[in-house]
Amino acid sequence: YDFELRFNVTLDQPGTAHLRVGETDHTLDYEAGGETVTFKDIPLEAGNVEVEPWIEHEGKKLGPMYTVVTY
């Protein structure tokens, strides 16, 4: 599955995005200037699971406006 994190602002500095799916953590470095960060080919099993996406920006944990999941 692909998880696209959509922000309502331009990410003006490079940083690291985080995605927790169940008990598994994923990280992805991103470049400045975009409004989305996409995690690709993340395994997802059938059933209920908690998904928590965020970036760290200036010492704060910020969530996206939307997270779009595609197969």
pLDDT tens, position by position, 33-64: 999 999 999 999 899 999 999 998 777 889 99
Residues 6+ apart with CB under 8 A from 19: 3, 5, 25, 26, 27, 28, 39, 42, 51, 52, 53
Task: Please give the tally of structural domains in the chain.
Answer: 1
Across the range 16-43, mean pLDDT stands at 96
Quick one: pLDDT at residue 8?
Answer: 87
Residues 6+ apart with CB under 8 A from 71: 1, 2
- Structural domain including 48 reads 2-70
Quick one: pLDDT at residue 51?
Answer: 96
11, pLDDT greater than 80: yes
